[in-house]
Structure 1
């Protein structure tokens, strides 16, 4: 309940007590009857106050449970969003790693082919260089 409602309920209780007391005191009855009516009025007011306090407590309990449920729902929503985002990031990282591994394999293959090609070229160059040296020497 809001603060204004609490003030209203408090004022209602106080007004009931004051009004009941004044009504009994102003009534044209004997002292014994007045005391009896005051006692009955007090019991009634206290009973009503107790009932309203219990009702207020139940309302507070319900509101707290509602807030707790809403909080739990929001926490679960955020948890699911975070888990989904983590999974997306993991998938992207795994894909990037796979792509990098493919590029690395391609570079290693290219390096291997270049190294093999360089050996062949080197052997051929050596043969050509040796033949050229022989021709020049002749």
Structure 2
């Protein structure tokens, strides 16, 4: 997890703990206190779900971006290798042609 993710999780946990302690120590009836704790727990759950969803989207976006970059780099490498292979083949063909000509000259002189 990144530092910002850890910070968000820490803030959420601190908020939940603080709200719960505040409710527990407030001078209220048990029924009201339990209701407030329940409401705060539901609110915290919603926040955690929202944060998890945001983190999931960020990770998916980052992975997608990195995959596209990797695909582009791989395509460039393949293209460069293909061009280099063509250059090598062309050079070998020229060299073969020169050797054939030298061979013809040697056979005529022999």
Unpaired segments of 5 or more residues in structure 2?
none
Unaligned runs of 5+ in 1: 112-138
1:110 aligns to what? 109
- Please tell me whether Structure 1 or Structure 2 has the larger radius of gyration of its CA atoms: 1
Cα deviation 1:64-113 (Å, max 9, x = unaligned): 111111111111111111111111000000000001111111222222xx
How much does 1:61 deviate? 0.7
Q: Name the residue aligned to 2:17.
A: 18
4+ runs deviating over 6 angstroms = none
Report the TM-score when normalising by structure 1: 0.74
TM-score (norm 2): 0.92
Q: Is residue 2:63 matched to residue 1:64?
A: yes
RMSD: 1.3
Return the structure number with greater relative CO, CA threshold 8 A, min gap 6: 2
Query: What secondary structure sits across from 1:78 in the alignment?
Result: helix
Aligned partners of 1:85 and 1:56: how far apart in 2? 43
User: Would the aligned equivalents of 2:23 and 2:36 in 1 still touch at CA under 8 Å?
Assistant: yes
